[in-house]
Structure 1
Amino acid sequence: MKSLAERFAQLHQRSNPLVLVNVWDAWSAGVCEAAGHQAVATSSFSVAESLGFKDGQNVPLELLLAAVETISRSVSVPVTVDFEAGFGDTPQQVGDAVARVIEAGAIGINIEDGLSRGERVLVNAQQHCEKIAQARAAASRRDVPLFINARFDGVLLEKKQTDALVDEAIRRGKLYQTAGASGLFVPGLTQLPLIERLGRSIDLPLNIMMMPDGPSVAELASAGVSRVSLGPWPFEYVRRVFRRAVGEFANQSAAFFA
């Protein structure tokens, strides 16, 4: 019988992407499972906001681990965790933190290269490789084929989409794969020709985040994407609806009973 981690890895298929509606607690994870989703993924932004913190690795690790454990206990499908920069500035710290999130129930993580000591900066590729290698070693010691989704933040940080940034994503993707990454995540990239070129140039499954006015799931599938995530948008949608209901309730008490 395949493990949850093995099942999760097999869901990443080029041109038939795994679609992840990112969650923030046991309730949202349960809704996704009940709707037929084969896996759930947390969003660091959404988890942080739900716990009263701002995104950027500001949530205390203990609180995040408690949230992951609660989510993992509430569903029977694989759970992958947006683990920001690995909750450590050194490879050893990251390895230790990854061991703990595996124990909390994670079979996959995102680990980004655009955060260092609380600052949004693109770190040296070798530095990120060392974090990935330590995460892989921590998983191997626990006999877990952890899906490590290495995130390239260059597009988000530069706030532009260029051939040069795609070239850097390709370069880093190959380095990250050698270090032990299972997939490459490039948030902020929405131009289909660039997405298609990136997907053709790497051996790793490519993860793209849906953006307002960006490509549809079908268009991303046609570009060879293997994983599509929604990031903070599900949480923001629920938050907007709740705010509207609260505002309506002030004038019409039936708002919450519709």
Structure 2
Amino acid sequence: MALSTTFNALHQQSAPLFLANCWDPSSALIIEQAGGQAVATTSWGMSNHQGYKDGEQLTFDRVLQTVSAILKVITIPLSVDIEAGYSADQNQIIKHIIQLADLGVAGINIEDKPSHQSSLRDIKAHQALLQAIKQALRHNGFDHFFINARCDLCLQPQWTEAALHERALVYQAAGCDGFFIPGLTDTTMIKRLTALLSIPVNVMLLPGFSDKQALAEIGVKRISSGNALSDHVIALQESATRRLLEEHAVDFLFEQSVRTTWLSN
């Protein structure tokens, strides 16, 4: 079974697909070995771990190289966060996605807020983009490639539930396979959204917003950790580095409790 088909099926389980997000081959492999059913990249984490800020500062060629390296070490489906497409040109965005599909990626996460502007892309323009992406994927034989349409409306200063529903329905009609709404934590609104759509709804974990069973009960089918794991790892590395250089402490680096065994075989 193709990994894209497997990835689609994971969104139809009774329990939501719980995704830990990776940024390089080692983080992806650790996620698989820890029991992850699939893995998704975090653009924030991938950028940070290569010395860049998020917001398409990392070139798409670097993204492609990193994704290729990840795919060489894992066997589970991989979804790639492509931000707004790493281009303002629709044809170039589609080219990027086909390149990822050719590598063996199972799906993408694409957002409706271009990196160069503070507002969301016009709803009709984003609808046309999603339709063109779906058409190109089918034309190239990637019928089951998963398009997760990220809507950044709830991250805007002002928004309404009516506007959220409008975008959700338009994106669904355009052919996306999932609807991702980071920043939305109101369970009543989420329940209305899952009832409105026939495609899986994806939410992002936040402090106090992580009860998998409760989210399953309101219809959520996919839960993402975003850049949280990456941020945590960087914070640990910074703390350990300061301890090493400022205190000249060494023993803690060799403690069995923190020694990695993921490549011991």
Q: What TM-score results when the alignment is normalised by the length of structure 2?
A: 0.90
Structure 2 SS opposite 1:214:
coil
Indicate the residue corresponding to 1:172 in structure 2: 167
Indicate the residue corresponding to 1:130 in structure 2: 128
Indicate the residue corresponding to 1:192 in structure 2: 187
Cα distance in 2 for partners of 1:169, 1:68 equals: 31
Question: 1:88-127, aligned counterparts within 5 Å?
Answer: 88-115=87-114, 118-127=116-125
Indicate the residue corresponding to 2:260 in structure 1: none
Q: Is the contact made by 1:12 and 1:205 (CA closer than 8 Å) also made in structure 2?
A: yes
What stretches of structure 2 of length at least 5 have no aligned partner?
256-265
Letter in 2 for 1:140: R
Indicate the residue corresponding to 2:8 in structure 1: 9
What stretches of structure 1 of length at least 5 have no aligned partner?
none
Cα distance in 1 for partners of 2:236, 2:45 equals: 15
Indicate the residue corresponding to 1:146 in structure 2: 145
Q: Is the contact made by 2:172 and 2:197 (CA closer than 8 Å) also made in structure 1?
A: no
Cα distance in 2 for partners of 1:74, 1:131 equals: 32
The one of 177, 185, 188 equivalent to 1:182 is 177
Indicate the residue corresponding to 1:212 in structure 2: 207
Letter in 2 for 1:206: V
Letter in 1 for 2:254: F
Identity of aligned residues (%): 33
Cα distance in 1 for partners of 2:176, 2:53 equals: 27
Taking structure 1 as reference, are residues 73 and 36 closer, same or farther at Cα in structure 2, changes over 3 Å only? same
Whichever of the two has the greater Rg, that structure is 2
Structure 2 SS opposite 1:187:
coil
Letter in 2 for 1:122: L
Q: What TM-score results when the alignment is normalised by the length of structure 1?
A: 0.93
**CA-to-partner distance for each residue in 1:23-49, whole Å, 9 max, x for gaps?**
000000000111111111000100111
- Deviation, 1:169, is 2.1
- Deviation, 1:15, is 5.3
Cα distance in 1 for partners of 2:175, 2:193 equals: 19
Count how many residue pairs are aligned between Structure 1 and Structure 2.
252
Letter in 2 for 1:178: A
**CA-to-partner distance for each residue in 1:38-71, whole Å, 9 max, x for gaps?**
1110001001111111111121110000011111
Q: Which is further off, 125-134 or 34-43?
A: 125-134
Indicate the residue corresponding to 2:236 in structure 1: 241
Structure 2 SS opposite 1:57:
coil
Structure 2 SS opposite 1:74:
coil
Letter in 2 for 1:139: L
Taking structure 1 as reference, are residues 6 and 202 closer, same or farther at Cα in structure 2, changes over 3 Å only? same
Cα distance in 1 for partners of 2:239, 2:213 equals: 31
Indicate the residue corresponding to 1:80 in structure 2: 79
Cα distance in 2 for partners of 1:15, 1:199 equals: 14
Cα distance in 1 for partners of 2:104, 2:62 equals: 14
- Deviation, 1:18, is 0.1
The one of 250, 254, 259 equivalent to 1:253 is 250
- Deviation, 1:214, is 2.1
Cα distance in 2 for partners of 1:51, 1:104 equals: 21
Q: Is the contact made by 1:15 and 1:223 (CA closer than 8 Å) also made in structure 2?
A: no
Q: Which is further off, 244-253 or 42-51?
A: 244-253
Q: 4+ residue runs of structure 1 moved beyond 4 angstroms?
A: none
Q: Is the contact made by 1:14 and 1:221 (CA closer than 8 Å) also made in structure 2?
A: no
